[in-house]
């Protein structure tokens, strides 16, 4: 432990950000790194507590508490405080294949479970993690490390999101010959096309892909398993197959007027925008533009926030984000004790930018959309909404009830549905005759990841449903260990 009284001497300080009205003019990341001395002070706030809940990584009340990757947080905090950055990087990489991703897009359940946070502000774990990995790349400490020998076994990984990449990386370390299949034109899955560039620079994704390729992993893009390549062909060609294709069936809003043009799924909006940005800096116009439009985003999660921020950068006329749930409290409530993930109001980057531009938070809570109305050309022009309240029915369940007289008409020429996902697409499961669980995910026991078909494994969102990047990486690593054991009889993978 570097400084036993650090958590009492230093206040929590997070990295600053580029001013909102300036950063909306581009698609760049906007966090400004802390100076090294400030980072060492922040690392000194870590208590190195006897039971570090920050890296427990379990579900409490249905949400992650602590890091699912079991990151050795107190250890690398201690190394940063002492200025031993290279050792800090080694401790960080021991449990996390891609800290440059998690430190940018993870909601930090580790900080929610930080012991300092019981009676104060938690350690700035995520910003320290980001500083460590960024320094590792800057100093050249992170370089290709191909395995010394090959086992002669081959594995196909279907899907190149965080679980697929983590699984491939671990299997490659074990000496297996790994091929990753991705149906999109670029590797990365949601890391590439599901998260905007200002949140995760795609050069950083490609940098990691290049590193994995240099270590011996083969990447094949533009090939969809089950359509371009049959699942039987895949099984015949490889000794094992790992399905990491994600949970990509979007939840729809089947109400009156849904067939109108101008209403899109959020992921289509975000994917096309990023592809056009990478292909041509948006010069080719092959994306859904929000320029000059009244935009309504239905859904209050991270994807909804990404839609708000993207629309602002297009130059939208206005943007509103509708949530059916009530506004979260400003502080932890008695029913949400530490070390549960704190269910408190989060003001993310998209809301900050909207408030700076339009002088108000774009979110409207407890609003249900009743129908869409269109113009004479069949294009959406407005939403008809009503306010709701949550009440208990006779079964004791909370259900929405409309508030009389609260109807409102909201103008919109672009509506984005950010309502989450309902499970994986059916093609792989159907062709391989895989068993599904009650939520239509591929059935495979957590930690074991074997399906009912010999040699076929499943990991990440395709197995657990829509979840966090850290859970996906964790499951990819676990699946790799089980595949290694299946192929070799035992495994030394963590």
CA dist 251 and 246 (Å) reads: 14
Average pLDDT, the chain: 96
Question: Whose CA is closest to 456, among 473, 437, 432?
Answer: 432
Give per-residue pLDDT as tens, 212-258. 999 999 999 999 999 999 999 999 999 999 999 999 999 999 999 99
All CATH 3.50.50.60 domain ranges of the chain, comma separated, are: 154-249+422-488, 252-419
Fold exhibited by the domain 252-419: FAD/NAD(P)-binding domain (3.50.50)
pTM of the model: 0.96
CATH of domain 6-138: 1.10.1060.10
CA dist 263 and 327 (Å) reads: 25
pLDDT of residue 48: 79
User: Long-range CB contacts (< 8 A, 24+ apart) of 288-291?
Assistant: 288/264, 288/414, 289/314, 290/314, 290/315, 290/316, 290/319, 290/414, 291/315, 291/316
- How buried is residue 166: exposed, middle or buried, by Cβ count under 10 Å (0-12/13-18/19+)? buried
On whether the CB atoms of residues 65 and 56 are closer than 8 A, the answer is yes
Tell me the pLDDT band of 101, cut-offs 50, 70 and 90: very high
Strand partners, 242: 157, 457
All CATH 1.10.1060.10 domain ranges of the chain, comma separated, are: 6-138
What percentage of the chain exceeds 90 in pLDDT? 96
Considering only residues 473 and 3, tell me which one the structure prediction assigns the higher pLDDT: 473
Domain 154-249+422-488 has CATH 3.50.50.60: yes
* For range 477-483, the mean pLDDT: 98
Tell me the pLDDT band of 350, cut-offs 50, 70 and 90: very high
């Amino acid at each position: 432990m570097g400084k036993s009284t650090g958590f009492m001497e230093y206040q929590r300080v997070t990295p600053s950000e580029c001013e909102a009205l300036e950063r909306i003019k581009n698609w760049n990341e906007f966090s400004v790194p802390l100076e090294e001395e400030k980072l060492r002070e922040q690392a000194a706030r870590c208590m190195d507590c006897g039971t570090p809940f920050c890296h427990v990584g379990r579900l409490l009340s249905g949400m992650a508490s602590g890091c699912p990757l079991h990151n050795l947080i107190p250890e690398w905090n201690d190394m940063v405080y002492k200025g031993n950055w290279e050792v800090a990087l080694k401790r960080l990489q021991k449990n996390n294949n891609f800290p440059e991703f998690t430190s940018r897009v993870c909601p930090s359940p580790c900080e929610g479970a930080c012991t300092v946070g019981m009676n104060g502000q938690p350690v700035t774990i995520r910003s320290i993690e980001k500083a460590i990995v960024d320094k590792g790349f800057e100093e050249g400490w992170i370089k290709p490390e191909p395995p010394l020998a090959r086992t002669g076994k081959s594995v196909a990984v279907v899907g190149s999101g965080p679980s697929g990449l983590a699984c491939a990386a671990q299997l490659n370390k074990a000496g297996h010959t790994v091929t990753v299949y991705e149906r999109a034109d670029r590797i990365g899955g949601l890391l590439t096309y599901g998260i905007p560039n200002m949140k995760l620079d795609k050069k950083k994704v490609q940098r990691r892909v290049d590193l994995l390729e240099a270590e011996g992993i083969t990447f094949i893009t533009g090939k969809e398993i089950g359509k371009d390549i049959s699942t039987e062909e895949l099984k015949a060609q490889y000794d094992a197959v790992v399905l990491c294709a994600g949970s990509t069936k979007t939840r729809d809003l089947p109400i009156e007027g849904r067939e109108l043009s101008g209403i899109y799924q959020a992921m289509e909006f975000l994917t096309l925008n990023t592809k056009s940005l990478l292909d041509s800096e948006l010069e080719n116009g092959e994306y859904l533009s929000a320029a000059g439009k009244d935009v309504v985003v239905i859904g209050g999660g991270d994807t909804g926030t990404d839609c708000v921020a993207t629309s602002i950068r297009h130059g939208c006329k206005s943007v509103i984000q509708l949530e059916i749930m009530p506004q979260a409290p400003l502080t932890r409530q008695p029913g949400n004790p530490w070390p549960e993930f704190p269910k408190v109001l989060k003001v993310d980057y998209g809301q900050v930018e909207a408030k700076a531009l339009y002088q108000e938070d774009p979110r409207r809570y407890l609003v249900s959309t009743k129908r869409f109305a269109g113009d004479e050309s069949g294009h959406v022009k407005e939403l008809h909404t009503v306010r709701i309240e949550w009440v208990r029915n006779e079964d004791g369940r909370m259900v929405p009830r409309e508030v009389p007289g609260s109807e409102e008409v909201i103008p919109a020429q672009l509506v984005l549905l950010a309502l989450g996902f309902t499970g994986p697409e059916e093609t792989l499961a159907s062709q391989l005759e895989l068993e599904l669980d009650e939520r239509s995910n591929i059935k495979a026991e957590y930690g074991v990841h074997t399906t009912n078909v010999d040699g076929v494994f499943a990991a990440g969102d395709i197995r657990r449903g829509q979840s966090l990047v850290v859970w996906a990486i964790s499951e990819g690593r676990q699946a790799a260990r089980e595949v290694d054991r299946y192929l070799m009889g035992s495994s030394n993978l963590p």
